[in-house]
Amino acid sequence: MTRASVEAILCCDEYESTLLVCQGHSHTLLYWLDMDLLILGFPQSGKTSLFSALTNRQVAPGAYSGGTSNGMAKVPDERLAALTKMFKPQKVTPAEIQYIDTPAMGSGRKQTSALGGELLNLMQGADALVHVVRAFDNPAVSVAEGAATPEEAIVGMDLELAMVDLAILERRKERLTSSLRGAKATERANIEKELELVTRVHDALEAEVPVYKQDISKEDRLTLANFNLVTAKPMMVVLNVGEDDATDTAKMETEWTGRLSEQGRVVVGLCAELEMELAELSDEDEAEFRDSLGIKEAGRDHVARASYELLDLVSFLTAGPDEVRAWTIAKETSAQKAAGKIHSDIERGFIRAEVVTYDDLMAAGGLAEAKKVGKFRLEGKTYAMQDGDVVNFLFSV
């Protein structure tokens, strides 16, 4: 096979099973396939309600309090509807992002951090964190200690996360200091360099600047990546408001975005319980209900949009009579890597990519028309993929 279309690959069983096998494995494998965002927060803040709203899993609130749950959320993309009109495919598949619901964190009053054990492992493996903050009144649901107000919860969580990283950095400092004692002259420079870095990052973190927001060179970030620091991850803060405030979250978002700009947070306001209930309705009923409530954007769409912003993600598109589909990649991902998102064979046997921008395709009215007016480009392995690129990968295996 010297040339095959993406669609042919998408139809074969092997593709499905490859994906399934990968998803059953560790985060390192998931990393290039899916972006995953870990939902965390104080007990009874609405984590599971939000997870249900995002993934439409209809998990009862209060459930999973002792466990972890993974689910995929669809990324809204108006371009898919237009492409569907143009190609009349058998199948339409939106891009997806993975969210992970986590067990309640422990109590920080104990000797160890409230974020230890399994939760810490999950956090270290995630691409980003979503901190759910209780901003609703509900006399029937007790308020967690240390999270009486949104302010307290945000400060408290940031402190917990900082403590995790400070402990990691202190351990590293100790090791480096002791290895410096017996080090040969040739090794000293490297150890001293890392010690300087670790000390600098540690001190800035103590001054309440998360590693994510610190001014650190690319090279130093690579060194730090080995330690899986949790404050190095981008974080979204979801203010979980009550039903009465659900229509008017914009002001709150602006205010909190300003207050948390030092920490580099992306802020979203929504009512998790209401969003969960709305997500269970049919599309028509949901739209009608939202209209009557005056909520313009679905909470899950808002969070997906914020997740894209947080992780600097874009979508590329594939389109044909079999399937129209959107794929999530990091901005500027090379064409060859992006091909691997579809199938590892396409990445391995990459020849080139036929690319037309979504806008050019729409303006031309079809693939053949776009080709005729010279809007089709042939791009090589290193081409930096752009949002809305409609792609056909040519490959040979």
* Cα→Cα distances 99→26, 48, 63, 308, 389, Å: 15, 11, 16, 13, 25
If one asks whether residue 214 binds ligand GDP (CB under 6 A), the answer comes out as: no
14-52 per-residue burial string, b: 16 or more CB within 10 A, e: under 16: ebeeeeeeeeeeeeeebebbbbbbbbbbbbbbbbbbbbb
CA dihedral over 131, 135, 141, 143, signed as positive or negative: positive
Helix (H) or strand (E) holding 144: none
Out of 7, 40, 45, 47, point to the residue binding Mg ion (CB under 5 A): 47
**Pairing between strand 91-93 and 323-330?**
parallel
If one asks whether residue 48 binds ligand GDP (CB under 6 A), the answer comes out as: yes
Out of 271, 310, 311, 342, point to the residue binding ligand GDP (CB under 6 A): 271
Helix (H) or strand (E) holding 94: none
If one asks whether residue 62 binds ligand GDP (CB under 6 A), the answer comes out as: yes
Q: Which stretch binds Mg ion (CB under 5 A): 48-56, 136-144, 198-206, 302-310?
A: 48-56
Helix (H) or strand (E) holding 2: none
Give the CB-side neighbour count of residue 229, counting CA atoms within 13 A: 28
Please identify, using beta-carbon distances, which residue of 133 and 346 lies nearer to Mg ion.
133
Please identify, using beta-carbon distances, which residue of 176 and 274 lies nearer to ligand GDP.
274
**Residue 100 CB, nearest approach to ligand GDP (Å):** 12
Which amino acid, one-letter code, is at 133? V
Total length of the chain: 397
> What CA–CA distance (Å, rounded) separates 191 from 227?
16
Out of 273, 345, 360, 389, point to the residue binding ligand GDP (CB under 6 A): 273
Out of 38, 41, 42, 48, point to the residue binding Mg ion (CB under 5 A): 48
Task: Answer with the entry of ligand GDP, Mg ion, none that 136 interacts with (C-beta below 5 to 8 A by kind).
Answer: ligand GDP
Q: Which stretch binds ligand GDP (CB under 6 A): 47-55, 106-114, 230-238, 282-290?
A: 47-55
Letters for 228-257 (x = contact with ligand GDP by CB under 6 A, - = none) are ------------x-x---------------
Helix/strand/coil for 58: coil
**Residue 272 CB, nearest approach to ligand GDP (Å):** 4
Q: Which stretch binds ligand GDP (CB under 6 A): 74-82, 175-183, 191-199, 270-278?
A: 270-278
List residues binding Mg ion (CB under 5 A): 47-48
List residues binding ligand GDP (CB under 6 A): 41, 43-49, 61-62, 65, 104, 136, 138, 141, 240, 242, 271-273
